[in-house]
Structure 1
Amino acid sequence: MSKTLSFPPVYQHAFLQASENLRQSLLLANRYQTPVTPVNYAVWYEYVSGDNQDLVNSIDTRLKKNDPITPEVTQYLYEKYVLMGMPERLSNTNNGLKLVVDNTLENISRVEAAASECNEGLTQSQVKLESCNDIDELKTLVSQILTNTQQITNSSGELKTELTRSTEEIMKLRQELEAVKEMARTDSLTGLLNRGAFDNELQKLCSKGHAFSLVLFDIDKFKRLNDSFGHLLGDKVLQFFASLLKSHSNDIHIAARFGGEELAMLFVHCRLEETFMITEKIREKFAASRLKKKGSHESIGQVTVSAGISTYQNNDTPISLIERADQALYRSKADGRNQVNFI
């Protein structure tokens, strides 16, 4: 399931769900008369899946205003919310690096030419010195030598200045690349790892065979919360819960947005008992919180979360771990929500 923002997008919907998304996407494309191009289909697919909340909010806003959904609009939505602006940022960074390299090579070539010219002048002065017997001619030669030497010094200084400037530009571009790399791993709403990065971390842990546990969290009745108070408040609830996960990660465990209102944690080198205890603390603290409407002291009431835990076993794959955690989560939901179960 394409659960959260990632670049490139990750889709893991089951066959029936993907087929239903296809059906709904084609209906919307027909209703709003948008050609079924790969870009338009991707936008409507993301919309009906409900996983890309920023894109959903943007389209809903346009539909409420009766604004047309033109190919230009879908192209904009695709680049901003599906590709997350990555191609443009990567292109800008690539162009910046090319410019820095070109300028540096140009400066080096210029200094090499100046140095070659000065070296030729010094060689000529050396030849003349060997046969020089006149004091005035000697003074002229010394003056030429000093001039050539000063030119080399100036050119070296200019090159040093340009290289320093180039180094600073490269450092800025390096920071931009790091930011792009981090953005590709991070969910924009919660600041946690996105689904793609989470899947990579889970795969690494399974391949190493280390002891760890997977916890899937699902905020209870989240759709009703969105319907009652709006998506913006729903986003605030997700951000608050994400902050609880961050506070319990301790730079060891891994917290991620699994998708929609589902979040996940990987408890590394952590026994089941300890994982269960930490998960219970998170659940209790969230249930005890009384979130309020923005700009108001009115509480939205109790919001709870259900959780399911699975612990790594020999020959486990990411899929088998997720399936067991999902089964445990389903049991928590079926037994009344606001509880933790494990398998």
Structure 2
Amino acid sequence: MYTTNNNYKEAQLLSDRALAFMANHDLIPNPINYAVTYHYVSNDSTDLKSAIEKKLNNNGQIDNVFIECLFNEHICAAQNIETFILSPFEKTLTKTLKKIDAQIVNEKEIAFNLRKVNKALNQFTQHKPLKSLISFIINLISNSQSQRKSLTDELTHTYAEVNLLRTQLNESRDQAAEDILTGLLNRRGCQSKLQSFDLSKTHSTIMIDIDHFKQINDGFGHTVGDKVIQLIASIIKKSITADDIAARLGGEEFIIVMNNKPTKVAELLAEKIRASVEKLKLLQKHTNTYLPTISVSLGIAELNEKESWESLFDKADRAMYQAKKLGRNRCVVIEQSLKPA
């Protein structure tokens, strides 16, 4: 089980402990290693913590391969990765790089002053031991600066990895909200988009179901069935505005939510989609056989004051089934039948 730490100072402390653990075990400071060690030091995952402690108790090596396995097993599917992992990690990187930069500046100033002293001592042979000590210190500083530059370069590269991971997470979120077959939103994506709609305004919805779709699948195969779904999805996409939502709820069922538009506007759109689908002429190439006329049944409803989305969708669904009962290939507004096409 994972918890979100909202205390910045505590989160920063945990970030520092995570980086220290990584340094002690020679782990590369990348987002995956950081994520696992952060969860370990914060005790957010009992199973993950037990796995690491078992490895340590058996004198096992905590290496990058082991950490990646823990990441895939315990963290990959966790929620809020960006908020919980990437942001604290990025803040810690910034803080660390600033400290390194400040230290390098101080060391450069010290080295410069020591070289001045060293140059002055060249004139006095009796200070040879002191001169040797100063030269030794200068060399130490030079080596330290070189090591810090290497670390800075590595941490800077890690920034790129963090940004890449953030991009991948955003892409994953988008894919999780999208229906793979049609490119429309799926049920989850639809619910997410609805959060931006103002419930105090007038919204309408259209529930769409392909008529006799099972006969298409059984008679022509699922590949043809998928093609029919894609073509109808394309018609829906081209018919709505950027303010509206279109989603595939599953199987042969679709939904449109029209933002700030009344039922009359939804009726016009529904009829446009119905007519466009009816005009489709589909030929199965390897049999040279035309499919029967494709049609859809559409149910239309409007969101009333203080009504929930679930209630609205239920009304549209009932209107759609009413269209089926009336003979299919038609649009029905809830509790009001439109004339057959």
TM > 0.5: yes
Aligned-partner Cα distance in 1 for 2:162–2:146: 24
Range moving further from structure 2, 139-148 or 255-264? 139-148
1:193 is matched with which residue? Answer: 185
Aligned equivalent of 2:303: 312
Rounded to whole Å, the distance in 2 between the matches of 1:296 and 1:158 is 66
**1:5-84 superposed matches below 5 A:** none
User: Which of 232, 235, 244 does residue 244 from structure 1 map onto?
Assistant: 235
d(CA) in 1 for partners of 2:74, 2:238? 33
Structure 1's unaligned 5+ residue stretches are 1-84
Corresponding position of 1:61: none
**Contact 2:100 2:148 (8 Å CA) reproduced:** no
| Inter-CA distance 297–253: structure 2 relative to 1 (3 Å threshold) | farther
> Which residue of 2 is the match for residue 302 of structure 1?
293
The letter for the 2-side match of 1:277 is: L
| Partner of residue 172, structure 1 | 164
Question: Are residue 209 (structure 1) and residue 197 (structure 2) matched?
Answer: no
- The offset of 1:149, in angstroms, is 6.7
Aligned length, in residue pairs: 252
The gaps in structure 2 that reach 5 residues or longer are 1-71, 335-341
Partner of 1:80: none
1:98-129 CA deviation, whole Å, 9 max, x = no partner? Answer: 9xx69x97xx69x959x58x949937964993
State the secondary structure of the residue aligned to 2:290: coil
Q: 2:219 aligns with which of 228, 242, 246?
A: 228
For residues 122 and 154 of structure 1, the distance between their equivalents in structure 2, rounded to whole angstroms, comes to 15
Q: 1:338: how far off?
A: 0.7
* CA shift in 2, pair 1:135/1:337, >3 Å: same
Q: Normalising by structure 1, what TM-score?
A: 0.60
Aligned counterparts of 1:124 and 1:210: Cα–Cα separation in 2: 70
State how 1:122-133 maps to structure 2 within 5 Å. Answer: 122=110, 126=114, 129=117, 132-133=120-121
* Deviation readout 1:66-122 (Å, 9 max, x if unpaired): xxxxxxxxxxxxxxxxxxx9989547x97xx79xx69x97xx69x959x58x94993
Q: TM-score, normalised by structure 2?
A: 0.60
Spell out structure 1 runs of 4+ moving beyond 6 A: 85-88, 136-146
Percent identity between the two aligned chains: 30
Q: Which residue of 2 aligns with 1:282?
A: 273
* Aligned match of 2:4: none
Alpha carbons 1:129, 1:141 under 8 Å: kept: no
Kept in 2, the 8 Å contact 1:213–1:268? The answer is yes
Q: In the aligned structure 2, how far is the partner of 1:123 from the partner of 1:87?
A: 48
CA distance in 2, matches of 1:266, 1:285: 19
Alpha-carbon distance in 1 for matches of 2:182, 2:77 = 23
Distance 1:324 1:126, change over 3 A: same
**Taking structure 1 as reference, are residues 295 and 88 closer, same or farther at Cα in structure 2, changes over 3 Å only?**
farther
Report if aligned partners of 1:307, 1:339 keep a CA contact under 8 Å in 2: yes
- Name the residue aligned to 1:162: 154
CA RMSD of aligned residues (A): 4.4
Equivalent position to 1:135, from 123, 126, 142:
123
Partners of 1:307 and 1:297 lie apart in 2 by: 30
Task: Determine helix, strand or coil for the equivalent of 1:252.
Answer: coil
Superposed CA deviations along residues 45-65 of structure 1, whole A, max 9, x for unmatched, are xxxxxxxxxxxxxxxxxxxxx
For 1:1-50, what per-residue CA distance to the aligned partner results, in whole angstroms no more than 9, with x for missing partners?
Answer: xxxxxxxxxxxxxxxxxxxxxxxxxxxxxxxxxxxxxxxxxxxxxxxxxx
Counterpart residue number, 1:82? none
Contact 1:290 1:300 in 2 (8 A): yes
Residue 236 (structure 1) shift: 1.4
Contact 1:186 1:197 in 2 (8 A): yes
1:219 and 2:175 are equivalent in the alignment: no
Distance 2:200 2:73 in 1: 34
- Structure number with the bigger relative contact order (C-alpha 8 A, sep ≥ 6) is 1
Partner of 2:249 in structure 1? 258
